[in-house]
Chain A
Amino acid sequence: MNSNSRNSNYILEVIDVRKRFGGIIALDGVNLKVKRGSMTALIGPNGSGKTTLFNVIAGVYKPDSGKVIFDGTDITGWPPEKIYHRGLVRTFQVPRMFKAMTVFENVLTAAKGNPGERFSTSPLRKIWKAIELKIAEKAVDIMELLKILHVARNLSSAISGGQMKLVELARGLMSDPIMLLLDEPAAGVNPTLAHEIFGFLRNLNKEQGISMLIIEHRLDILFDYVDYVYVMHRGKVVAEGTPKEIVENPVVVDIYLGEA
């Protein structure tokens, strides 16, 4: 990577990304940029390609064409695990729990650099005990912050959908990410709690400087928290701007009225 692009204003650049599934064109040349340190929203009606774009950025799908630049590095086509170690972490729209494991273990598993994760060293506790304890402290702190510490011992398949979303977020935070991609982090929770979650995310964004790209489709909830908004429709970015500009944008109004 070169230092110029690393210091660039943009933490994430998506350049003309295309992806089709058979006859369905899910992404039809998407371009967007996320400012370093910003909290940016990605909105758009169901089926407009938001989740697919996340999957392309996070390495789950390879794009048919186009590029993804993260923190100055071209990560197009990288596998998800490598992207995670580079500092870009995503959560899933439909939570994906390690379902036969407790919430606590789910969160612990996401830590980076645990020497006890190797076949060769794991039998010898002495080697990894100290780091494991540090990781556990961190997991407890994060779970307390996200108010899921009281379900730490529960099986992750036996908690509410909203709590699963928070477990996903907790896992994401374990690695001290540079950037988070959050796919509907407050879906399925009531507006009060949704505001609480977005308020919390905004704090993280401000205090720890974690850049964020967040999918959400309730515009009213988003707009108090985010710096910038991209609007997708039928696999394309059709509008962008500050929340205020987006509310007043006739194109956006049309899309949302058309959906309703």
Chain B
Amino acid sequence: MDKVGLVLGIIVVAIIAVFAAINVSYALDLIFFIAFYAIASLSLNLEYGYTGLSNFGKVGFIAVGAYIAGVLSAAFNVPFPLCVLAAAVAAAAVGAFVGIPTVKLREDYLGMATIIIGEMIRILLRNTPTNSVWGGVFGLRGIKPPFAFIKDPLARQFAYVGLSVFLFGLVYWLIERWGNSPLGRVLKAIRDDELAAKSVGKFTYRYKLLSLTLGSAIAGIAGALYAFYFLYLNPDTFIPLITFMIWVMVIIGGMANNAGVVLGTAIVILINRITQIAKDYIKLPLEPNYFQAMLVGLLIILFLMFRPQGLVPEKPVNTPSWEVLEKAEEEGRAKPPGGEEQ
């Protein structure tokens, strides 16, 4: 079963290598997009995959991070690291704001509240004054590139994509650590049965709120990375379709499995890229954008029907506790009842 993940992972890397051989800048762009979306989908994995929180407004939290970072850079010349930090804090605050009243209620309330917040943020951004730094429907300009001192454009792109991949690595490490610790068990317990989790003493409200807040902070970091890559932001790039894509990445990758989610992210992005390229060479029976959306829609239906656990299924939480169990088993303590008479 893990072979599936390994084989697909090798295919993904091979495809990126082919792109790199043809056009380095294009491959770097592809890698940036995978890193950016992977941070976002990992944050959804923390919220939904581990904790069971349905955040349908992920794009809104990304937008908050992007715009806060963008405004701080464009209007106040705030350096890149502080912009990223501020983006995380701002998105976390929005996450807490949505979570405090809804996380206590039934699951669907959070879903509804996040859909609304996600769209509200886009509409709010559209309605900022066009003559202000926010830019309204014309978008936000003037973000200062963090590697401006590198004069060669390809080298500059390389440095920035490298930095993004590094940040992705940090986020991956952190969520993997959270997941493979006693905390990971608590989050999964809440996801599987909240009342039972309360009945074994877990303060579930606090955990759910923290999961949503930290997940939002991470989405904010993704947004900041996006802002400093394009150096321009437009409200209408932050549409619900982005949230949908991120959900698809998590579901086909494998909920509560971070490696799976990254794989799912890369696959969805490659499908999008390849259909985009294909439309120049083969005549598609449909408008290419619709075709893409249909393809992804079909993919998710197929997965939900035939492989709901995703490409790489969830694993038990990995802590040193398993060594203790293994030792007990080796000592022959794990006999089935009546086994000794056989």
Contact = CB atoms under 8 A, between A and B. Distances in A.
B328 A144 contact: yes
A73 B339 CA distance: 46
Interface residues of A, number: 50
Given A81-B201, A109-B200, A175-B201, A123 B181 contact: yes
Contacts of A98: 188-189, 192-193, 196-197
A140 B210 CA distance: 31
A58 interface: yes
A119 B182 CA distance: 10
B316 interface: yes
Interface stretch (A14-22, A110-118, A227-235): A110-118
Contacts, number: 146
A166 to B, nearest CB: 10
B106 interface: no
Contact of B320 (A123, A129, A152): A129
A171 B192 contact: no
A99 B192 contact: yes
A238 B195 CA distance: 31
Nearest to A137: B324
Contact of A140 (B181, B195, B256, B333): B333
A85 B316 CA distance: 26
Nearest to B177: A123
Contacts of A97: 192-193, 196
Interface string B306-342: 0000000010110111111100110001111101000
Interface string A82-107: 00110001101000111111101110
Interface string B182-207: 11111011011101111111111000
Interface residues of B, number: 45
A249 B198 CA distance: 39
B201 A105 contact: no
Contacts of A89: 199-200
A257 B198 CA distance: 39
B337 to A, nearest CB: 5
A139 B200 contact: no
A208 interface: no
Most buried by A among B199, B314, B329: B199
A140 B314 contact: no
B178 interface: yes
A110 B200 contact: yes
A136 B324 contact: yes
A187 interface: no
A175 B178 CA distance: 23
A69 interface: no
A27 interface: no
Contacts of A135: 321
Contacts of B316: 101-102, 104-105, 153
A104 B325 contact: yes
A147 interface: yes
Contacts of A136: 320-325
Nearest to A156: B192
Interface string A141-178: 00010010110110000000000000000010011000
A80 B193 CA distance: 14
Contacts of B337: 147
Contacts of B198: 79-81, 84
A84 B321 contact: no
B209 to A, nearest CB: 11
Contacts of B203: 81
B175 to A, nearest CB: 10
Given A80-B198, A84-B201, A128 B182 contact: yes
Given A109-B186, A122-B183, A123-B181, 19 more contacts: A81-B201, A84-B201, A97-B192, A100-B188, A101-B189, A116-B183, A119-B210, A122-B178, A122-B184, A133-B323, A135-B321, A136-B323, A140-B324, A140-B328, A140-B333, A147-B336, A149-B333, A149-B334, A150-B339
Interface of B: 174, 177-178, 181-186, 188-189, 191-193, 195-204, 210, 214, 256, 314, 316-317, 319-325, 328-329, 333-337, 339
